Structure 1
Amino acid sequence: MDYAAVTVSIPQTHVAGEIEWPSNPPGNPRSDFVVHQAAYLEGEKEFVRTLNAQLAKRPRGSRKVFLFIHGFNTMFAEGLYRFAQVVHDSESVAVPVLFTWASRGKIGAYIYDTNSATTARDDLEHTLRLLFASDADQINILAHSMGNWVTVEALRQIKISGQRLPTDKIGSVFLADADIDMDVFRSQMHRFGRPKKPFYVVVSKDDQALRFSSLIAGGRTRLGDDANVEELAALGATVIDLTDVKANDPSNHSKFAQLAEVAPQLTAVLAKGVGANPDSKGKLPQGGTLGGIVELPTTLLNAPIRIISAQ
């Protein structure tokens, strides 16, 4: 595992949810995403020192880390720029940390990426332990696509290692467009236990990339396009349904990036909790009731965002 520090600039003409790729390297900072500085760090101790130096610039109680784990068919540059876009659009003041694993970056390399992601579990576990041991007050996690498999496995490994998982430092965990078999996720969560704070599962039932994954898996449902929100809520998840949101990409697999634009409003809604909705008639397997449905202002993404949780 290698460590690095990278500075990325976002053009003033940036459109929320998009990545303005340079037509010719190294790009024009007035119109393109551009890497201004990039250098390897001398191992994990230097990484932690660099991280803590950034955290020290924030007041105590606000020293947060924003960790992103990219997904399938994502080369390093795309993962880096996508994370830069999400951080910028969400107006995040947390210290951004990207965990990138060795995707081959090809549609036909699904099995290769699956094995590569599985290989990365231990390194992500180690990274999480470094973040937990840092001066951060809170670690917020965003995983996308196949990156969810790596993330949930790493959290599960920490849980079953016998060492205490510092739940007080775990903030929001967003599992976006998760490429995880539902039976596997159910098993992972039963072993992990119901989280102190619910995981946020971002789903979209028109996700073409997850349909491709499901086909390869013999028709097995993936977490990111699962319609059984009642079961997910019973497992300790709050479901954010973006099915009605028009995607910027033809595969409908990157809607989470558009969600960054409304992050402040979404955070406020989630902080208040989802109130009971008299129109909801759903029942959870454990006998609980299904929470209400909240729609964010349609002027933000021009479509309703459904948020469902257990009460």
Structure 2
Amino acid sequence: MAEVDPGSTAHTLLVATTRKRDDRPGTLFNGERATPLDFARVVVSVPEKHTEGQVEWASSPPGNSKTDFVVRQAGYLDGERAFVATLNAQLAAKPKGKRNVFLFIHGYNTMFAEGLYRFAQVVHDSRAPGVPVLFTWASRGQLTQYVYDNNSATAARDDLERTIRLIFASNAEQVNIMAHSMGNWVTVEALRQIRISGGLSEKSKLGRLVLAAPDIDTDVFKSQMRRFGKPEKPFFIVLSKDDKALGASNFIAGGSSRLGAATDTEELAALGAIVVDMTEVKGLDASNHGKFAQLAAVAPRLTAVLEGGVTTSHAAAHGEDIANGSLEAIVKLPITIIGAPFKLLAGR
């Protein structure tokens, strides 16, 4: 483990995974599949001079907590009971009304450390108040392993369903879920299974559902939504029409459009989504596939505006609107923090 810099910030993440344990020092889990569902607790340190939207990777292990994301503590948890007990202890440390869970499901081409650090970055930048829980499925973290990853995500559906049920049965007051890329496939499938099997006994605990750059066939998603019906609470689809990774996925899928690069945003809004179109945002990665991580920096202010209700069908960037407090004003924030506007679209 790395030495602790007093200026860094620690975040305790709980982990549920279908990955195989790895005995190599500092690795915890690799990219191979394993059963049963496994658990861990990891404390990640974010450096004081962290740049929003980015992960500061160490040039060599264990890293320097003054300049890099590093792991302060890590250990396995012994099964479901230990996971739930640890989760409830984390929740009990928060005041009533703030005992929330933030569940994140990563995407394709993601090794364990990559998913862990990306989630820590999103938690840190968004100042998310909930207990962070990472569900990490067995991705090999290689561009050439798309089929393996897709099958791993599919195989993880039952385990993600189980994880969601464990979290909802905990002492959490609200559960917010975010999935990225191929992680959306396993997430929507798990939620579909829950719906088919009779739902959740504590479904009122469901807060925000964010589908970021979803690598899902658009027609498949529409069929899934027909099973769900229009949700009681709007969910979010974060998309970018210049997402090159989804362009490659579209090619592999024989030209079938991917939800995260959809052009018919009006139709998505009609399904019950609030569409966050980040096409005009300059991405920090060459593929434009990780823009959701940049959205985290404005999440607290965006959330405050959205909680007031989306009352217009379109919201676009107009700097002068910042003064009147309208929904359009929130788009001023990415101009300052990210460098470009995004658009919001909500169904009527």
TM surpasses 0.5: yes
- Kept in 2, the 8 Å contact 1:167–1:196? The answer is no
| Matched AA of 1:299 | T
| Matched AA of 2:142 | K
Q: Structure 1 length normalisation: TM-score?
A: 0.93
SS at match of 2:38: coil
State how far apart, in whole Å, the 2-side matches of 1:32 and 1:185 are: 38
Aligned to 1:184: 220
Aligned to 2:11: none
> Quick one: structure 1 residues 58 and 214, their matched pair in 2 at CA, closer, same or farther if it must change by over 3 Å?
same
Equivalent in 136, 145, 153 of residue 109 of structure 1:
145
Equivalent in 103, 128, 135 of residue 92 of structure 1:
128
Aligned to 1:170: 206
Aligned to 1:305: 342
1:272 Cα offset (Å): 1.8
Q: What is the CA deviation profile of residues 242-263 of structure 1, one whole-angstrom value per residue up to 9, with x for unaligned ones?
A: 0000000000000000101111
Equivalent in 234, 253, 264 of residue 289 of structure 2:
253
Structure 1 unmatched runs, 5+ = 281-290
1:276 Cα offset (Å): 2.5
State how far apart, in whole Å, the 1-side matches of 2:329 and 2:218 are: 23
Q: Structure 2 length normalisation: TM-score?
A: 0.84
State how far apart, in whole Å, the 1-side matches of 2:330 and 2:52 are: 23
State how far apart, in whole Å, the 1-side matches of 2:231 and 2:295 are: 23
Alignment root-mean-square deviation, CA: 1.7
> Quick one: structure 1 residues 129 and 206, their matched pair in 2 at CA, closer, same or farther if it must change by over 3 Å?
same
Q: What is the CA deviation profile of residues 152-194 of structure 1, one whole-angstrom value per residue up to 9, with x for unaligned ones?
A: 0000100000244533110000000000001110011110121
Equivalent in 278, 292, 295 of residue 242 of structure 1:
278
1:279 Cα offset (Å): 10
State how far apart, in whole Å, the 2-side matches of 1:86 and 1:274 are: 24
- Kept in 2, the 8 Å contact 1:141–1:174? The answer is yes
Aligned to 2:266: 230
Matched, 1:129 2:165: yes
Moved over 3 A (4+): 163-166, 277-280, 291-294
Aligned to 1:26: 62
Q: Which has the higher strand share?
A: 2
State how far apart, in whole Å, the 1-side matches of 2:274 and 2:247 are: 22
State how far apart, in whole Å, the 1-side matches of 2:256 and 2:329 are: 27
State how far apart, in whole Å, the 1-side matches of 2:39 and 2:331 are: 40
- Kept in 1, the 8 Å contact 2:315–2:344? The answer is no
State how far apart, in whole Å, the 2-side matches of 1:222 and 1:168 are: 30
Any residues of structure 2 matched to 1:36-75 within 5 Å, and which? 36-75=72-111
Aligned to 1:157: 193
> Quick one: structure 1 residues 278 and 265, their matched pair in 2 at CA, closer, same or farther if it must change by over 3 Å?
closer
Matched, 1:12 2:48: yes
State how far apart, in whole Å, the 2-side matches of 1:249 and 1:255 are: 8
- Kept in 2, the 8 Å contact 1:14–1:20? The answer is yes
Q: What is the CA deviation profile of residues 116-138 of structure 1, one whole-angstrom value per residue up to 9, with x for unaligned ones?
A: 00000000000000000000000
- Kept in 2, the 8 Å contact 1:117–1:147? The answer is yes
> Quick one: structure 1 residues 207 and 95, their matched pair in 2 at CA, closer, same or farther if it must change by over 3 Å?
same
State how far apart, in whole Å, the 2-side matches of 1:259 and 1:162 are: 34
Q: What is the CA deviation profile of residues 39-67 of structure 1, one whole-angstrom value per residue up to 9, with x for unaligned ones?
A: 00110000000000000011222110000
- Kept in 2, the 8 Å contact 1:48–1:130? The answer is yes
> Quick one: structure 1 residues 165 and 197, their matched pair in 2 at CA, closer, same or farther if it must change by over 3 Å?
farther
Share of identical aligned residues, percent? 62
1:215 Cα offset (Å): 0.3
State how far apart, in whole Å, the 1-side matches of 2:154 and 2:175 are: 22
> Quick one: structure 1 residues 279 and 35, their matched pair in 2 at CA, closer, same or farther if it must change by over 3 Å?
closer
1:304 Cα offset (Å): 1.2
1:293 Cα offset (Å): 10
Structure 2 unmatched runs, 5+ = 1-36, 317-326
State how far apart, in whole Å, the 2-side matches of 1:269 and 1:231 are: 23
Aligned to 2:255: 219
